[in-house]
Amino acid sequence: MLGQSTASGYKEGMETRRFQRIQGATSWMSLEHTNVGLYVHKKKAVLIDSGYNEAEAQWIGDLLESEVLKLEAILNTHAHPDNSGGSYYLKKRFGCKVYISQAQRNFLENPGRSNYISMVQAAVAKEKEQLEAQTAPEETAANDETPVLPPELSDAPFLKRAVIQPKPCLVDGVLNPNRPFVMSTGKSFQIVDLSGHVLGQYGIVTPDQVFFIADSLYTFDELSAQPIPYLESVEQFRKTLDLLLKTPYSDFVPTHGKPLAFSINDEVLFHQRQIEMIEQAIILHLQMPHTKEELTALLFATFEIEQTIPNFYMMTATIVSFLNFLKRQGRITIIHEDGKTRWFVKQK
């Protein structure tokens, strides 16, 4: 979700992006921040996710118009900006209907209520504050209280990030795993609950049996860089992984990375092992009582995670999810003392 080029560089990068066919009338396109899907029947089009921002949405719209396609619906897998940030623009431009799960509807219609967006904004602001604090006083422009970043910081990560606050987008209908979505032409899409990354994240299966699996799987590169992924619910994520192992489909498009074909068992098993490793590490460290902050520092050391502010914000949220999950299982408990909450392994 984080990352934004300059306007000119962004436009140049978009010019080479096109929809690529996977099966039948189902295509996908890799944008700078996410993948989007497209299904076309009788010149009517359905998008799966809508891009990160207006620039991406404009490009999607231009491609649709170049093929003389009528966009009739957007099926958003969830309300994170990299997936749904273009919905407002495309709805305004084409008059299409926008759909999402009931659990995610509030965040698409009221982005300011999203804890995820608030967390990312806080992380970027804190990182910027710390980097600016490294600026020496003599580097501040005369009669200007705004610090001037030295050359070595001018390429700092936060400067390449734009935390988009998407425009509120009214939802026209709610997706339901118990009821397929049906186009005006009669073609139907299966809706699959893939909660975990967020609650109410839904996967979309096109009439060509291509399964858009949202953020239910991370790429190997993502898990290598961020061994503790962002999860709202560990319990639901485990259920989603079990479901993906049993899926009858053979073409998969995740939010990030290239489409996967034939089988995703290796990827799913890798994620399951990663979850088990995190659980084992937490149980090991909580043989002695620790606060959430102390545990986070220990896990960062265990998994050799760089202690950056974004990593701290994002991974702490997941660690809390693990703690709550293990507490519900009865494997750990808490004590309150000296104004602090400490977690530890429950003695048998």
- What is the CATH number for 287? 1.10.10.10
What band does 191 get if pLDDT is binned at 50, 70 and 90? very high
Nearest CA to 135 among 123, 145, 124, 121? 145
Nearest CA to 301 among 227, 219, 218, 221? 227
| Number of residues in the chain | 348
Q: Are residues 130 and 26 in the same domain?
A: no
Nearest CA to 226 among 117, 319, 162, 114? 319
Q: Are residues 170 and 27 in the same domain?
A: yes
User: What mean pLDDT is predicted for residues 167-178?
Assistant: 97
Instruction: At 243, list the tokens.
Output: 């479901």
What band does 104 get if pLDDT is binned at 50, 70 and 90? very high
Asked whether residue 2 is domain-assigned, the answer is: no
Q: Are residues 23 and 101 in the same domain?
A: yes
State residue 155's pLDDT score. 44
State residue 248's pLDDT score. 95
User: What mean pLDDT is predicted for residues 19-43?
Assistant: 96
Share above pLDDT 70 across residues of the chain, in percent, rounded to a whole number: 85
What's the CATH number where 12 sits? 3.60.15.10
Q: Which amino acid is at 127?
A: E
Q: Which amino acid is at 284?
A: L
Range of the domain at 133: 116-160
Q: What is the pTM of this model?
A: 0.87
Q: Are residues 171 and 46 in the same domain?
A: yes
Using alpha carbons, list the distances in angstroms from residue 318 to 160, 163, 231, 273, 289: 25, 20, 5, 16, 19
Asked whether residue 254 is domain-assigned, the answer is: no
Asked whether residue 293 is domain-assigned, the answer is: yes
Q: Are residues 335 and 225 in the same domain?
A: yes
Lowest-confidence region among 77-81, 290-294, 337-341: 337-341
Q: Are residues 345 and 332 in the same domain?
A: yes
Give SS3 for 275: helix
User: What mean pLDDT is predicted for residues 296-314?
Assistant: 90
Q: What angle do CA 51, 52, 54 make, to 5 degrees?
A: 85
Count of the separate structural domains present in the chain: 3
End-to-end CA distance of the chain: 43
Instruction: Please provide the DSSP assignment of 174-228 as one string.
Output: EEBTTB-EE-TTS-EEEEEE-TTSSTT-EEEE-TT-EEEEETSS--HHHHHH-SS
Question: pLDDT at residue 294 above 60?
Answer: yes
Q: Are residues 133 and 203 in the same domain?
A: no
Q: Are residues 32 and 70 in the same domain?
A: yes
Q: Are residues 229 and 293 in the same domain?
A: yes
Asked whether residue 1 is domain-assigned, the answer is: no
Q: Are residues 175 and 80 in the same domain?
A: yes
